[in-house]
Structure 1
C-alpha cells in the first residue's frame, strides 16, 4: 500500500537480537545502564552492590534485616540489638518493644549474636559460633547447635532448623536439640543474605553474588532454581516491614483510623518516619553501540526509532554518527531533540553507524528502552518522482525529508492492516480481547468459562454457524464447553405413527395405505371407549388432535451423565443453540446402572419385560407398570439403544 519502490532494510537492537554494546573502555561515558539480557529493555542501574536488582528494599517484606524476625501474629516482631546482646519482643497490643529475658540478657546464648529467626512460638538466635533454639517464645531453651561461622537461620516444619554458614550456600539441617540431619545442596552462587521457609517444606534463598540479588526456590528432594519476586509474593505473604536504614526501620500496619506507618530505632524506640527514600537508581547512565555495519558502501542511513517508556522526571537522549571507515570525532555526533524518539538521519553517507543513548533520572524512577530500530538505506516515495524534481540537491533533500513524513504515516497504516488478521485469531489475542472478538461473531460467554473454553468456541464458531440447528452442532457446542459428548434424543423418532414401506432388511410385512391408520386417535393417547388397555399412552395435556404435531415433533432431549455439567448453564446453552421452532429439554442421569462395575451383561444381569399389568391388583399407575407395549410388541422386552438408554430412563431389575 505504501509508495516506496523497494522494501526497506532495517536493523533491530533489543534483548532478542542483541544490543551490540561497545566493549568496556572503548568509548568514554559507557556505564550506569543494565538490563541487556532483560526482554523488558535496558534501564538505569540500581544503587548499591546489586545494580541489576531486584533491590534489597523491594525484598524486605519477605527477607527482613537480620536483626529483625516476624513472630507469631501480624504485629509481633523480634528485634536483636547485637552490640548490647539484647533481644526485644514487640507487644502486639501496645506496639512497644520489651526485653524477652530479664535482666535483658541472652541466657546461654551466643556471645556475639548476628541474626534472629522465628516461626510460630519457636525462636533461634544466631551467633558467631553457635545457634540457640528456644520454644514457647523464649521461655524454654530447646538446645544449642554448635556450627562453624553461622550467618542465617530459619525454622522449618517438623522441629527442624536450617542454618546457612559464611562462605557457602549449602544449608545444614538440625533438629531443635542440635541433632544433625544432613546437608541441603542449593547450587546457588554468592552469599546467603536471606533465608525463609514456606508451605510444603519449600525453602527460599536470597543470595548476593556481588553484582545482583537473586531469589532461589527449592527444598528437600527438589532442586533449587532461580525464582522471580512475583513467584515469591504468590507463595509467601509479605510482612509489614517496608523500610530499613541505618536510622531504623518502619512497619505499615492497620490502625484504628486506617493504614499507618510506625517507625522505630534499632533499640526499639519510636521515631519519626522521615522523608521517603528516593535514591533507588543512579541519576545518569549511557549506552554506546559498536560500529553497526550496513554492508553497503556509502550507505545513506534513513531513520532511527527508539521505543522507550519515559516516566516523569526522567529522559532519554539519542545521538548517532555515520562514518565510512570507522573513525569519527566528537563534533560529528548528531543529537536528536530532547524527548524525540523518531527522527531522520542527517549525516553524510557511510557504511557504519554508531548510536549513543544518554539516560537520566531523579533517582526514584528510570526510563526503560525496549527496542531501537535503524532503517537503511534511505528509500522514500521521492524515488518515484520524475528526475526533474530531483535535480537541485538542496531541494531534493527537502523533498525526501518532507515525503518521509507521509511515508511514516502510511507505514503505520500498513502495519495495522497487516496485523488485522491476527486480531481475529482466537489463539493469538490476549484473554481480555476474547469477549470483544465474540461480540463480532454474535457469541456470548458465561461468566464461569475459562479462556481455553472461550478460545475453542471462537475457533469452532464458523463450523458451528454453518451447521447450526443440527444435532451435530448442538453436541459439539456441549462438548467444547463441558468436555463431555451428550446424547441428543429426537422424540419424533420414538413414535412411528405410520410407515409406508417394508421393514429394514426386508423383515416384517409390508405396510400399505389402508392397512394402518395415519395418526390414529386411539393410538396417540388413551381414550375411554376407543383404546385398548395397554395399547395407548396416558396423557393429560394438550389437544389430542394435534398430538402428531405437538407431542413429539420439534421436540428433543439432551441427555448427560449426572454431575458432568451445570444443569442451568447447560439449559442456557441449549436454548441458544436450538432452532427457534424446536423445544429442547435437558436431563441428567443418576448413578444408574454401570456395566463393568458390579454387573456383567450376560452373566448375572437379565433384561426382561415388565410383568403384565393387572388392574385391581398391586398395580399403581405411572409407577409399577406400563399400559402399552413397546414398539416391537408386548413380549419383546427392553431394547437397549432403540427406545431405552441404560442409566438415563431405564430401570434394570
Structure 2
C-alpha cells in the first residue's frame, strides 16, 4: 500500500525484546522500574520498595491492626489499648461508641494489639491469647491460648486463623479454642496483614526488609495450603476495597458514599473527630532516566530514520527522548538530539552512523507517573523521495528537506497500512472487546438477546460459518440451542412418527413372489410398531367440515387439499424441540427456534412437566421425574380423565407399599424400590 521501495528495518525496545541497557559499569537507569512488565516502564515508588506496592496502596484491603471493617458498608471496629478498649462505629451518626458500656464491660482486655471481624463475629489479639466473640461482642465464644500472637482473621466455617511472631505459618482454631492444625504458607518476611475471602481463600501481606509482598492460598486440605504471590489487581478483583483511604501516626480517614456524593471523614486513633487529614506522601519519585547501550544497526554509515514512543502521559508528567548517532560509538555531549517538548514521534536529525544511543527521561509531580510501553527505532531512512527523478535530489540541502517533508505523508500512509493489516483482527470474535460484539453480529446478520453474556455471544459468532452452511437442518438448530442454553435438545420431527392409521393390504390376489415380498415388508413394519396410530378411524371429523361427518360449528371450512390426506398433512413440515424442565427460558428458546427454523416449517417448544405415568406417552430426559401425582381435581381449566390422569383413592386396603405383579400401581405414589 505504501510508496516505499522496500520494507523498512526497525528495532524495538520493550519488555519482550529488552531495553538495551548498557553492559559496562556506566549506570543505565535510575528511578525507573518495570523493565520486565509488559505494561511498560514507569517511575519508581518512593520508599524502600521502588518496584513493589506501597503501604498506602494496600490500605483499603490491609488496614492498620487497630482497625477492622465490620458487617455492613459503614461498620468499623477500632481498638484503643489505652482507652475504652474496643469501639464500634455507629453507621448512622458516624460516631464511635464502646462495644461494652462501662457498667457491662467484662474487663477481659489486658494488652490488646489487633482486632478482626467477620459478619457478626469478633476476635481480639490480647497478650498471649485470642478472644473470640459472637453476636458482635454480646457472647464470648472462646479463648485461644497461643504464644506471641500478632494477627487474627475469622474465616467461614467458624474458623479462626492466628499468625504469631515466630514465622509465617498460620495456626487454625475454631471459635471455642480447639486446635485444627497448622497451615504452612512458605511466605517470606514478616506478616503485616491477614485477610480471608470467598471460598476460604487466605490473603497475606508480608514485609521482607521493606519489600511488600502479597500472597494468596490456592488450595486447602488436611491442614495444608499452597500459597503463591499475587498482584494488587488480583487482590482488588477478589476482595472489595474498604472505605479506608489514608492513615498515619495521628489518625485515619474514611471515604464513604453519602446522599450528596462521596464524603471523607477523618478520626484520631482514640475515635475523636480530626480536622486535618493525614499528610499524603508522594507515591512516586519525581524524576528518572534510562540510558541504553549502543544499538547496532549492522549497517555502516546507516541513516537512522525515525523514533516512535508508545506511552501514556498523564497530566503533570512528561516524557523526553534524546538520541545520538555515531559510527564508532564515540560522541560528545553536544551531539545529543532532543525531542521537542511533548513530542513522542520525530525524525532523526543526525549524521549517518552505525550505532545509536537513546536516553529516556521520565518526570512527574509525585502523584502520577508516565508509562512507556514501547520505543521503535526505524532505519535505514526510506521515504517516497527515492521514487522521485534524480533532479530533485541533486542539492543535498534540498534533498534533506524533501525527505523530511515527504516523511509526513509516509507516516500517514504507514498508519493507514497498519489499520488495513489489522483489519482481520476486527473480525476475530475471541479478540475484540465486548462492546464490539453487537457490531460484528450485525455484519453476519445475527441478533443477540439482552440476557446473553459475552462468552455466549463469542461462541455464536465463532460458530456462525458452520451454522450458516447447515442452517435449516436439525444439527444447526441443536447446535444453536447448545451454545446459547448449554443443553443438548431433542428435536422431534412429527412426520417421522407415523401417527396416522393404516390398514393392511390384501396379498391374496398378488403373484406368489410379490405376495411373499409384501408379507415380509408388512411383518417388518409390524416389528417396528406399525399399525393403528393416534388417529381414530371412525370418529367425527374435526380437521375440516364434512357432511354427515362433522358437527356444525365444530370444524373449520377448508377449500384446499384433499380431506383424505388430512391425517398425513397434519404433521408434515412440523417439528418439536424437547428440553428437560428448568433448563432454559422457554420464551427465549421459542424466539431462537423461530429464527433458526426453515421458512416452510412450523416449530414448537416443549419442556418437561412434573412427572410421567407408566403406560402413557412420555419422553425420557424431558418428562422423566419421579414425583408424586398431583391431587385429582374434577373440572377446572385442565380437567383430568378418570382412570388415566389421576388416582381418586387408595382403595379398600389402604395405600399400597411397593409394586406388586398384577396390581395397578402409580409410579411416584406407592412405588418403592426394595
**Normalized against structure 2, the TM-score is what?**
0.75
Q: Which residue of 1 aligns with 2:215?
A: 216
Q: Which residue of 1 aligns with 2:477?
A: 474
8 Å Cα contact 1:171-1:183 kept in structure 2: yes
Q: What RMSD, in angstroms, separates the aligned Cα atoms of the two structures? A: 4.2
Q: Which residue of 2 aligns with 1:125?
A: 125
Q: Which residue of 2 aligns with 1:9?
A: 9
1:574 to 580, 584, 593: 593
When residues 335 and 180 of structure 1 are mapped into structure 2, their CA distance, relative to the original with a 3 A threshold, is: same
Moved more, 464-473 or 567-576: 464-473
8 Å Cα contact 1:557-1:587 kept in structure 2: no
Correspondence list, 1:97-112, <5 A: 97-98=96-97
Deviation at 1:436, TM superposition (A): 0.6
Q: Secondary structure in 2 aligned to 1:364? A: coil
When residues 126 and 26 of structure 1 are mapped into structure 2, their CA distance, relative to the original with a 3 A threshold, is: farther
Deviation readout 1:556-579 (Å, 9 max, x if unpaired) = 122313234332222212222233
Please state if 1:195 is matched with 2:194: yes
Q: Secondary structure in 2 aligned to 1:575? A: helix
When residues 109 and 146 of structure 1 are mapped into structure 2, their CA distance, relative to the original with a 3 A threshold, is: farther
Name the CA distance, whole Å, in 2 between partners of 1:107 and 1:23: 65
When residues 104 and 345 of structure 1 are mapped into structure 2, their CA distance, relative to the original with a 3 A threshold, is: farther
When residues 105 and 358 of structure 1 are mapped into structure 2, their CA distance, relative to the original with a 3 A threshold, is: farther
Q: Which residue of 2 aligns with 1:240?
A: 243
1:306 to 306, 309, 318: 309
Correspondence list, 1:196-595, <5 A: 196-210=195-209, 212-218=211-217, 220-254=223-257, 259-274=262-277, 277=280, 279-482=282-485, 483-489=487-493, 491=495, 494=498, 507=518, 525=541, 540-541=555-556, 543=558, 545-546=560-561, 551-552=569-570, 555-563=573-581, 564-590=583-609
Q: Secondary structure in 1 aligned to 2:30? A: coil
Correspondence list, 1:21-40, <5 A: 21-22=21-22, 26-27=26-27, 30-40=29-39
Deviation at 1:461, TM superposition (A): 2.7
Moved more, 550-559 or 346-355: 550-559
Q: Secondary structure in 2 aligned to 1:225? A: strand
Q: Secondary structure in 2 aligned to 1:270? A: coil
Q: Secondary structure in 1 aligned to 2:167? A: coil
8 Å Cα contact 2:251-2:278 kept in structure 1: no
Name the CA distance, whole Å, in 2 between partners of 1:179 and 1:523: 79
When residues 87 and 582 of structure 1 are mapped into structure 2, their CA distance, relative to the original with a 3 A threshold, is: same
Gaps of 5+ in 1: 511-520, 601-619, 626-653
Deviation readout 1:354-377 (Å, 9 max, x if unpaired) = 211111111221111111111112
Q: Which residue of 1 aligns with 2:88?
A: 90
Q: Secondary structure in 2 aligned to 1:560? A: strand
When residues 624 and 194 of structure 1 are mapped into structure 2, their CA distance, relative to the original with a 3 A threshold, is: closer
When residues 373 and 540 of structure 1 are mapped into structure 2, their CA distance, relative to the original with a 3 A threshold, is: same
Moved more, 210-219 or 357-366: 210-219
8 Å Cα contact 1:80-1:116 kept in structure 2: yes
8 Å Cα contact 2:456-2:484 kept in structure 1: yes
Tell me the number of residue pairs that the alignment of Structure 1 and Structure 2 aligns: 582
Moved more, 320-329 or 473-482: 473-482
Name the CA distance, whole Å, in 2 between partners of 1:453 and 1:160: 39
Please state if 1:153 is matched with 2:152: yes
Q: Which residue of 2 aligns with 1:614?
A: none
When residues 94 and 416 of structure 1 are mapped into structure 2, their CA distance, relative to the original with a 3 A threshold, is: closer
Deviation at 1:264, TM superposition (A): 1.1
Name the CA distance, whole Å, in 2 between partners of 1:31 and 1:103: 60
Name the CA distance, whole Å, in 1 between partners of 2:208 and 2:456: 45
When residues 304 and 91 of structure 1 are mapped into structure 2, their CA distance, relative to the original with a 3 A threshold, is: closer
Deviation at 1:190, TM superposition (A): 2.4
Name the CA distance, whole Å, in 2 between partners of 1:239 and 1:314: 29
Name the CA distance, whole Å, in 2 between partners of 1:217 and 1:122: 23
Please state if 1:163 is matched with 2:136: no
**Normalized against structure 1, the TM-score is what?**
0.77
When residues 63 and 126 of structure 1 are mapped into structure 2, their CA distance, relative to the original with a 3 A threshold, is: farther
When residues 429 and 75 of structure 1 are mapped into structure 2, their CA distance, relative to the original with a 3 A threshold, is: closer
8 Å Cα contact 1:11-1:375 kept in structure 2: yes
Name the CA distance, whole Å, in 1 between partners of 2:455 and 2:347: 45
8 Å Cα contact 2:8-2:378 kept in structure 1: yes
Deviation at 1:132, TM superposition (A): 4.3
Q: Which residue of 1 aligns with 2:18?
A: 18
Q: Which residue of 1 aligns with 2:655?
A: none
Deviation readout 1:541-562 (Å, 9 max, x if unpaired) = 4516435599548631223132
8 Å Cα contact 1:145-1:177 kept in structure 2: no
Moved more, 367-376 or 468-477: 468-477
8 Å Cα contact 1:559-1:589 kept in structure 2: no
Deviation readout 1:39-87 (Å, 9 max, x if unpaired) = 21111122222322433222212210123233455444343456x4763
Name the CA distance, whole Å, in 2 between partners of 1:76 and 1:463: 55
Q: Which residue of 2 aligns with 1:612?
A: none
Moved more, 135-144 or 235-244: 135-144
Deviation readout 1:318-356 (Å, 9 max, x if unpaired) = 111122222333222111001111111111222222211
8 Å Cα contact 1:52-1:211 kept in structure 2: no
Deviation at 1:235, TM superposition (A): 3.6
8 Å Cα contact 1:478-1:485 kept in structure 2: yes
Name the CA distance, whole Å, in 2 between partners of 1:368 and 1:123: 43
Deviation at 1:12, TM superposition (A): 1.3
Name the CA distance, whole Å, in 1 between partners of 2:140 and 2:78: 19
Deviation readout 1:514-559 (Å, 9 max, x if unpaired) = xxxxxxx99995777777x9xxxx9834516435599548631223
Q: Secondary structure in 2 aligned to 1:507? A: helix
When residues 103 and 132 of structure 1 are mapped into structure 2, their CA distance, relative to the original with a 3 A threshold, is: farther
Deviation readout 1:467-517 (Å, 9 max, x if unpaired) = 44444543443344334143241539846999xxx999953699xxxxxxx
Q: Which residue of 2 aligns with 1:649?
A: none
When residues 464 and 170 of structure 1 are mapped into structure 2, their CA distance, relative to the original with a 3 A threshold, is: closer
8 Å Cα contact 1:325-1:351 kept in structure 2: yes
Deviation at 1:205, TM superposition (A): 0.2
